[in-house]
Amino acid sequence: MIKARTAKFQIGQVVRHRIFSFRGVIFDIDPEFNNTEEWWLSIPEEARPHKDQPFYHLLAENAESEYVAYVSEQNLLPDDSGEPVRHSQVAEIFIKDKAGGYRPRNPSLN
């Protein structure tokens, strides 16, 4: 049985990937892996994360594009750059607060 852990990051937090050059804002959290086995097996074995940790849904961006990413907690770090996330869906889900952070438009989500 997989034992879920408490999430280290929260919805609205801006994070970056610890290996690949992309960042994003968290819009959903799975307490443990909740994607397809095919997706998980597509990750090279030497880089494949453990399933027994939180996984985060990000409105992500890199230098070339914007997309949705699904990332394990072990591969995320806080992004303290203060730069806004330019993903086109951010304004649909979040309100930017005075401190530059993101608050969900609908607080009853998650």
Per-domain residue ranges for the chain?
Answer: 13-104
| 40: confidence class by pLDDT, cuts 50, 70, 90 | very high
Which is it for strands 14-17 and 76-78: parallel, antiparallel or unpaired? antiparallel
Strand order in the sheet with 76-78: 66-72, 55-61, 23-30, 14-17, 76-78
| Residue bearing the bigger pLDDT, 99 or 14 | 14
Section 11-34 average pLDDT: 95
pLDDT at 106: 81
Rounded CA separation 72/57 (Å) = 9
For the whole model, what pTM was predicted?
0.89
Rounded CA separation 26/35 (Å) = 16
How far from the centroid of its chain's Cα atoms is residue 55's Cα? 7
| 109: confidence class by pLDDT, cuts 50, 70, 90 | low
3-class SS of residue 92: helix
Section 3-16 average pLDDT: 87
pLDDT in tens, 62-88: 999 999 999 999 999 999 998 999 999
Strand segments, DSSP code E, in 1-110 are: 14-17, 23-30, 55-61, 66-72, 76-78, 94-96, 102-104
Give me the residue label for tokens 């799975």.
30
